[in-house]
Amino acid sequence: MHTRTAIAAAIAAAFAAGAAAAAPPDWSKVPAKKITVFYPGASPIEWIMKGTEHGGARGIRKGETCASCHDEEAADMGKKMVTGQKIEPNPPKGKAAAIPVSVQAAHDGANLYLRFSWKQPPAGAGAKMDADNPVKLAFMLEDNKVELANIGGCWSTCHEDSRTMPGVSDDKKTKYVKDASLAGGKFYDLVQWKSKGKPADGYVADKRVMEGGKALVSAEGKNDGGNWTVVFVRKLAGGEGDVTLTPGKTYNFGFAIHDDHAAGRYHHVSLGYTLGIDAKADITAAKQ
Amino acid sequence: MADEQRSRNALARLWAYLRHPSPSYSILTIWAVGLVIGITFWGGFNWAVEASNQMEFCISCHEMENNVYREYQKTVHYRNRSGVQAVCADCHVPKEWGHKIVRKIRATNELWGKLTGTISTPEKFEAKRLELARHEWKRMKTTDSRECRNCHGYEGMSVEAQKQRARKQHEMAQKDKQTCIDCHKGIAHQKPKGMTEEDEG
C-alpha cells in the first residue's frame, strides 16, 4: 500500500512538474530589455559592407557589431531613412521611424518563452501591402556559423537582389544566406507571428522557407488598447531548420515588426543582439 | 704680379662703391627708401596671398560658386550651432608660410584650368570631381590632415562626450593611428560618384 501510494505520489509530482514546466513564466518577474526597432530603408548587407557608402564597414571588418555604434541612435537612423533623407528611394508616407520594444525571455528546460511588447504607432497613409495582416512580428536565431551573423544580426540574410529592393523586378526572391547549409548549421531559424494568419516556423538558408519547423509550440498576440503583446513558446530543440538551444550557450538574435500592413523590406528591424540560454548575453533566457 | 695688382684695385673700387653708392644720396637715405619699398612689396605680396584666401575670392569663379560652394553651404563647416565657420582656405590652404606659398604656386595650375575651361560646366565638373577630390585627399593624407588639425585634434577631444557612433569610430581611429581624411571624406562637399574601396582606405 505504501509502495503504491509512493508511486502514485511520484507520478502525480512528475505530472505536476510537467504541467508547471509547460506554463509560461510570470512575466512580471522576468527582466525586460528595451530594443528599438527602426525603419532600415534599403540597406542590404552589400551596402553595409561598402566602405564608400557606410563608414562603419571598417569597424565591421575589425569585428565591431552594428549595435556597438548604432544601438543608441536606432530611432534617429529610422527617421533619416523613413523620410527618404538616406537610402530610401521610396519613402513610405506617415510610417513610424522606430518602435521601442520590450523583449523578455525565459525557459523551463523544455521550452523557450519569448515575449515582445510595444505600443502600436499611428497608422501611415501608405498602401496596405499585406491587406490581411495589419501587424506581423518575426524573430531569427543563428548558431554562430553564418558569416557576420554575430556582427549584424539579420543583415546577413538581407541582400540587394531580394524582392522589394530598389531596381529589383523579381518578386519571388526573398531572404537568403551565402554559402548556406542546413546540415552544416549555416542558416537562420525563422519564426513569425501574424495578427491574422497562422504563425510560420521556417528558416532562411539558400532561400527563405516559411514552413516545416518542428520547434514552435505557439505564437499568440493581443492588442490591449493599442499595446501589443506577442508571446512565442518554442521547444529548445526541433528538427531541420530549427536551431537547437542548449543551456550555457548564446545565439545570434534579431527581430522585425511589419507594422501598418507592411510587407517585404518595409519593416522595422532590430540590430543584431545575442540571446543566451542561462548564459550572459544581451537578452538572457534564465531557467524559471 | 700685375694680375694681383688689378684684382686688388677691383676690390678696392667695389668697396668704395658700397661705401658711397651714390654721389647724391646718403647710405641712410638709400637704405630708408629700400626699406619702404621692401615693406611695400612684402606687405603687398602677403596682402595678395591673403586676399586670395578669402571665400569671396574663391567663389568669384562660377566653377566654385555653382558647385562646391553650394554643397558646402549645407554642411556643418558653413553653418552650425556655435557660429564658427571654416571657409575654403581654412581647409584647402596651409596656415604655415612655407607650405602656404608652395600650395599657392601649385594653385596657379588652376588658372590654366580656368582658361581652358576644364570644369566650366556642371557636367564637366561632375566628370572631373573624383579626380580633383583624389588630389585633395592625397594632399591631406600626406600631411596627416594638417589643415583639419588647425582646429581639431585628438588631444583636445573628449570622446566620452560624443555620441556612441562617433565615440566608437574615434577610439578605433586613434588606436589605428588614422588621420581625419581617412574617414571624413565628403564632409564639406558631396562624395564623388565612382569611388573605390581603395579611395576609402
Q: What is the pLDDT of residues B55-96, one digit of tens each?
A: 999 999 999 999 999 999 999 999 999 999 999 999 999 999
Q: How far is A288 from chain B (nearest CA, A)?
A: 35
Would you list the DSSP string of B112-144?
HHHHHTTT-SHHHHHHHHHHHHHHHHHHHHHTT
Q: How far is A51 from chain B (nearest CA, A)?
A: 6
Range of the domain at A33: 26-287
Q: Decide if B165 touches A, using CB distance below 8 A.
A: yes
Amino acid B5: pLDDT: 85
The SS3 assignment for B3 reads helix
Measured CA to CA, the distance from residue A230 to residue A116 in angstroms comes to 5
User: Quick check: is A176 in a domain?
Assistant: yes
* pLDDT > 80? residue B114: yes
Q: How far is B32 from chain A (nearest CA, A)?
A: 60
* pLDDT > 90? residue A19: no
User: Quick check: is A113 in a domain?
Assistant: yes
Measured CA to CA, the distance from residue A210 to residue A213 in angstroms comes to 8
Q: What percent of chain A has pLDDT over 90?
A: 89
Radius of gyration of chain A measured on its C-alpha atoms? 20
Helix ranges, B52-96 (H): 55-58, 62-63, 69-72, 88-92
Interchain contact, B165 vs A70, CB within 8 Å = yes
Residue B200's closest chain A neighbor by CA?
Answer: A52
- For the record, the C-alpha cell of A142 comes out as 543563428
Helix ranges, chain A (H): 2-22, 45-48, 57-61, 66-70, 74-82, 149-152
Report DSSP state, residue A166. T
Across chain A, mean pLDDT equals 92
Q: How far is A50 from chain B (nearest CA, A)?
A: 7
Q: Smallest Cβ distance to B200: which of A52, A72, A73?
A: A52
Interchain contact, B164 vs A56, CB within 8 Å = no
Q: Smallest Cβ distance to B168: which of A51, A57, A59?
A: A59
User: Quick check: is A44 in a domain?
Assistant: yes
* pLDDT > 60? residue B193: yes
Q: Which CATH number is A137's domain given?
A: 2.60.40.1190
Phi, psi angle pair for B10, to nearest 5°: -65, -45
The count of domains in chain A is: 1
Measured CA to CA, the distance from residue A234 to residue A107 in angstroms comes to 9
Phi, psi angle pair for A136, to nearest 5°: -140, 150
Measured CA to CA, the distance from residue A235 to residue A215 in angstroms comes to 5
Measured CA to CA, the distance from residue A12 to residue A22 in angstroms comes to 15
What average pLDDT does range A20-31 have in this prediction? 82
Which residues are CB-contacts of A29 (< 8 A; sequence separation ≥ 6)? none
Return the biggest CA–CA distance within chain B.
Answer: 87
Burial letters A44-67, b for 16+ CB under 10 A, else e: bbebbbebbbbbbbbbbeeebbbb
B104: left (phi over 0), alpha (psi -120 to 50) or beta: alpha
Amino acid A1: pLDDT: 41
Amino acid A15: pLDDT: 45
Q: What is the pLDDT of residues A153-181, one digit of tens each?
A: 999 999 999 999 999 999 999 999 999 99
pTM: 0.84
Measured CA to CA, the distance from residue B50 to residue B191 in angstroms comes to 28
pLDDT class of A9 with cuts at 50, 70, 90? low
B106 alpha carbon, distance to own chain's centre: 9
Chain B hits for A51, Cβ within 8 Å: 197, 200
Q: What is the pLDDT of residues A106-137, one digit of tens each?
A: 999 999 999 999 999 999 888 899 999 999 99
Measured CA to CA, the distance from residue B201 to residue B193 in angstroms comes to 16
Cβ atoms B72, B83 nearer than 8 A: no
Q: Decide if B183 touches A, using CB distance below 8 A.
A: yes
Residue A49's closest chain B neighbor by CA?
Answer: B197
Q: Decide if B110 touches A, using CB distance below 8 A.
A: no
Residue B199's closest chain A neighbor by CA?
Answer: A52
- Which stretches of chain A sit within 8 Å of chain B by CB? 50-52, 55-59, 62, 64, 68-73
Interchain contact, B163 vs A71, CB within 8 Å = no
The SS3 assignment for A98 reads strand
Residue A71's closest chain B neighbor by CA?
Answer: B164
User: Quick check: is A16 in a domain?
Assistant: no
Q: Which residue has the cell 501587424?
A: A135
User: Quick check: is A18 in a domain?
Assistant: no
Chain B hits for A52, Cβ within 8 Å: 191, 195-197, 199-200
Measured at the CA of A4, the angle between CA A2 and CA A9, to 5 degrees, comes to 95
Q: What is the pLDDT of residues B138-182, one digit of tens each?
A: 999 999 999 999 999 999 999 999 999 999 999 999 999 999 999
